A = this chain, B = another copy of it.
């Protein structure tokens, strides 16, 4: 069975979802939908329209025609052709779209910016795959939470974790953003950070807290994580590194190799020739891993634009029940996304 997938909102996340789905041999990307001829849509045109474009309600078709951008049909047309929608619309729009999805009997996966109430299940491919099985509406964790849970789930399944404390050093804008930014300033959010709270929703057996600080950079969040061994069983540096090194969605890197920070990882992903310099894996610095009582502390890098793509594709498998077993599902996603091939 080939799952027919559509993408709503062809922006920073949407175009990466489209590419990710297109690479899955058991899925078909039917098309993408958007409202206006943004830079991303113009680039789609200049690339020769590898994906069909549908217009959401409110779009001015004449603007697309003026630019000779082919339009395949309306949002309704798209919904009539798909099994499931990946909704990366601007925050709040997803909730409105949900009514259309229900009417068209189409499932949907919403991104982290949407409110929790939009979905039946708050989902993470590795941590709670089973909860998504057969669900109609799933919501992905946000980029930071998705990457964070990868690392915590990795330790938890191997050794048991009962407490987590994080410091999120957040990149404040994406490359190319002009509508938001920070100049020569760090900014504090009210604690605990929502990422710590969200982690507890996905992994209710863990007590988590954390502080988030915004920083004026664009290439990837860095999170320091303290994971406390369950019931006081110590997690050593060696234990943690062995687990991390075996995880296909975690790339362990070293300062001595030239991975000095978030910008090195972006540079490396560009040099790899990955489209847009994207990286699906979180980076994890071997040099950052230290022990603290029964806990282990370490730093991870979250490539904010692309990190949620694998778990979103996992969500398609769960919702459509094309894979009912967690490890088989994520392994298939990894394979088609070429993740972990360095292992």
Quick one: which of B216, B259, B299 contacts A216, CB cutoff 8 A? B216
Q: How far is the CA of A215 from the CA of B262 in the complex (A)?
A: 11
Proximity bits, A263-283, B CB within 8 Å = 1, else 0: 110111011110111000000
Proximity bits, A28-41, B CB within 8 Å = 1, else 0: 00000000001110
**Which residue of chain B has its CB nearest to the CB of A292?**
B209
Quick one: which of B180, B209, B219, B297 contacts A211, CB cutoff 8 A? B297
> What DSSP secondary structure best describes chain A's contact surface?
mixed
Q: Is the CB of A184 within 8 A of B342?
A: no
Q: Is the CB of A270 within 8 A of B277?
A: yes
Considering the complex, which residues of chain A in the window 202-242 have a beta carbon less than 8 Å from any beta carbon of chain B? 207, 209-211, 213-220, 222, 224, 226, 228
Q: How far is the CA of A342 from the CA of B45 in the complex (A)?
A: 10
A58 lies within 8 A of chain B by Cβ: no
- Residues of A at the B interface (CB closer than 8 Å) are 15, 38-40, 42-44, 46-47, 163, 165, 167, 169, 171-173, 175-178, 180-188, 190-192, 207, 209-211, 213-220, 222, 224, 226, 228, 255, 257-264, 266-268, 270-273, 275-277, 285, 287-293, 295, 297-299, 342
A–B complex contacts, Cβ < 8 Å, 7 sampled? A165-B292, A173-B184, A178-B261, A185-B260, A185-B262, A210-B297, A273-B275
